[in-house]
Amino acid sequence: MATPSGDVFFSTISELSRRLRAREFSAVELTKAFCDRLERIGAAHHALAHSLRDTAIKKAKDVDAEIKRGRLRGLLQGIPYGAKDLYAVKGQPTEWGSRAFAGQVFKEDARVIEKLNSAGAILIGKLAMVELAGGVGYRTAGASSTGAAQNPWDRTRWAGGSSSGSGVAVAAGLTTFALGSETSGSILTPSAFCGVTGLRPTYGLVSRRGAMSLAWSLDKAGPMCRSVEDCAIVLHEIAGADADDPGSARKSFNYAPQFDRPLSEITIGYAPIDFERVAADARSAMTGALEAVKALGLKLKEVEIPDFPYGTLVTTVIGAEAASIFEDLIGSGKIDLLADSAQAASLKAAIDIPAIDYLKAQRVRSQIQQAFREMFTKVDLLLTPARMAPAPRIADGLAGGGGVSVPGGRGLGGIIPACNLAGLPALSLPCGFANGLPMAISLVARPFYENQMIAVGRAFQSKTDWHRRRPPLLEPA
């Protein structure tokens, strides 16, 4: 058997699965090679929270025995992956990116970890995250017990939050895929900054049992991968009803590309002004991406986001729910162990959010959901820049979105908080570069229309190769 190297680390799930079944290399050899890479490069980029080498190799031996006996489970069998340190792994540290929870261990796996284990996937590491998944607001890239996650395209740049380690791990070929989570942007942002494909599922489609909760009415678990198809393969395994998650939608997801609608029948809503508002050095990439989407033969329709104060609403909801969840942390004084003092102060202040403000925000939220239901009677999907500028410098802090001010309508600005409030699924798709840093576009769909969204994303990636580009900075200095 060959020693896994080179292209292996940037292979898709299907490619690796085929080679494992052809016995070009064993699951143990593959796992060891990925563990070496994750421990070396991942640690140097502040992307690794905890290596799980020993349990991973044990699992890989079981997979090799299964493959030898002809017991084939599916495409994820033997595939090395990583999970954001927000997900519980039985008997292993799960510290939520914070010194305040150092040494925390759970007795059961999170539901998504259980499902991936049953599918034969091999968990090789817990990945770094912004502490407490961002809490109520952090101001520095270093708001984590592991330090500021360094973007593999340029180590002076941030990898994005709060699923920062997941973005680095996939982009740098440290894991084949990774689990992230999103409350308001935490899958889409690191996916865009690191040049990987990220999928935020419909709220409730994937169980959050065993995952740290930041805001129970907003939290979502999802995959970050090399391609749209990889995201679909992982989502197929982790989605489904869970009676132990009160937010479960009690629905499953079956990846069924054979039933995709013709692209000519799909209408995409977009706002031209959005593509003018991106940072000047990113405009060429965004213009090219928009032209590539148009070339797919879709119908495009100009739309504008419903007019609501999305930022204020999502801040109120997250603040009130996070203060309730972390009440003991705040009351004990251990909140002061957070790396970002601004985040600690915001969580303390959130305790005083009046119940009337929270309830008002939830009432307006129902109006937002209705407004998007009406919008999706006119279009099938929405298209926007995933971020308005490439990854910021770590030393510069995180203030501002990086876009430019252009006179005109509101377009689809504010779509990340808006669509998280509405519980809508989204994809982040690499679409080019700005001064050597990845840029991405985003597709948004109505609830539970992941297959339709995936079909368009897959068509885009069949005509472009941005998702196959590799960062040049892979080795530690």
> Catalytic residue positions?
84, 162, 186
Q: Which two tokens stand for residue 460?
A: 């885009």
Distance CA 329, CA 249 (A): 30
Q: Which two tokens stand for residue 96?
A: 């939520």
Contact 151, 191 (CB under 8 A): no
- Is there a cis peptide before residue 248, judged by omega within 30 degrees of 0? no
**In the 3-class helix/strand/coil scheme, how is the chain assigned residue by residue?**
CCCCCHHHHHCCHHHHHHHHHCCCCCHHHHHHHHHHHHHHHHHHCCCEEEECHHHHHHHHHHHHHHHHHCCCCCCCCCCEEEEECCECCCCCECCCCCHHHCCCECCCCCHHHHHHHHCCCEEEEEECCCHHHHCCCCCCCCCCCCCCCEECCEEEEECCCCCHHHHHHHHCCCCCEEEEEECCCCCHHHHHHHCCEEEECCCCCECCCCECCCCCCCCEEEEEECCHHHHHHHHHHHECCCCCCCCCCCCCCCCCHHHCCCHHHCEEEECHHHHHHCCHHHHHHHHHHHHHHHCCCCEEEECCCCCCCHHHHHHHHHHHHHHHHCHHHHHHCHHHHCCCHHHHHHHHHHCCCCHHHHHHHHHHHHHHHHHHHHHCCCCCEEEEECCCCCCCEHHHCCCCCCCCCCCCCCCCCCHHHHHHHCCCCEEEEEEEEECCEEEEEEEEECCCCHHHHHHHHHHHHHHCCHHHCCCCCCCCC
Q: Which two tokens stand for residue 476?
A: 């530690």
